């Protein structure tokens, strides 16, 4: 049994994909207006393909040769509850990676170097992270995660960071 998407299911997936990309793109545009850095692409073709596979797997569990709109609904709920929620919080990036190994450690180190109420340059924090042996990308991800968790606020178009919690 190798289920395939019905026309209705494929249309529902397509609509969801377009809706998510538009919705988070407009949220990122609003964030940029406020001087915050945009997040990574919210959903890529890779995640869309995963949704197709989850939908087909759901149909396969029922031994149905066709994945229906209900199977797509279940896949979307699973995706939203896991991957997309984490991305909205800045815990992961969806552009091809996951949580970097040392993200939690780097977040703690950054929190330790900036006192509550204190402001530092983003480039200064990134330089320190590199000195600790992390990559610039890991530093960017950790900062994005801290901003998403409302531990830090960005100002001056994302060039300055203030620890708020």
In sequence order, what are the beta bridge partners of 129? none
Cβ neighbors of 10 (< 8 A, separation 6 or more) are none
Would you state the pLDDT for residue 95? 47
pTM for this entry: 0.49
Cα 139 → chain centroid? 15
Would you state the pLDDT for residue 100? 44
Q: What contacts 24+ positions apart, CB below 8 Å, involve 91-100?
A: 91/145, 91/148, 93/39, 93/40, 93/141, 93/144, 94/40, 94/41, 94/42, 94/43, 94/44, 94/47, 95/40, 95/41, 95/44, 96/44, 96/46, 100/137, 100/138, 100/141
Q: What is the pLDDT along the chain (165 residues), one digit of tens a residue?
A: 789 999 999 999 999 998 888 877 776 677 667 666 655 556 788 889 999 999 999 999 999 999 999 999 999 888 877 775 565 555 454 444 444 446 788 888 999 999 999 999 999 999 999 998 888 888 888 898 898 888 999 998 889 999 998
Would you state the pLDDT for residue 87? 57
């Amino acid at each position: 049994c190798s289920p395939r998407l019905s026309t209705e299911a494929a249309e529902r997936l397509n609509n969801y994909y377009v809706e998510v990309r538009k919705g988070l793109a407009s949220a990122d545009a609003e964030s940029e207006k406020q001087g915050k850095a945009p997040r990574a692409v919210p959903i890529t073709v890779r995640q869309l393909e995963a949704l197709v596979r989850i939908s087909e797997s759901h149909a396969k569990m029922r031994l149905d040769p066709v994945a229906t709109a209900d199977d797509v609904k279940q896949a979307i709920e699973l995706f939203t509850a896991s991957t997309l929620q984490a991305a909205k919080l800045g815990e992961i990036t969806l552009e091809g990676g996951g949580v970097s190994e040392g993200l939690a450690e780097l977040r703690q180190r950054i929190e330790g170097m900036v006192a509550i109420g204190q402001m530092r340059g983003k480039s200064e924090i990134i330089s320190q992270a590199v000195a600790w042996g992390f990559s610039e990308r890991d530093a960017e991800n950790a900062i994005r995660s801290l901003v998403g968790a409302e531990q830090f606020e960005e100002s001056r178009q994302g060039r300055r960071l203030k620890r708020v919690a």
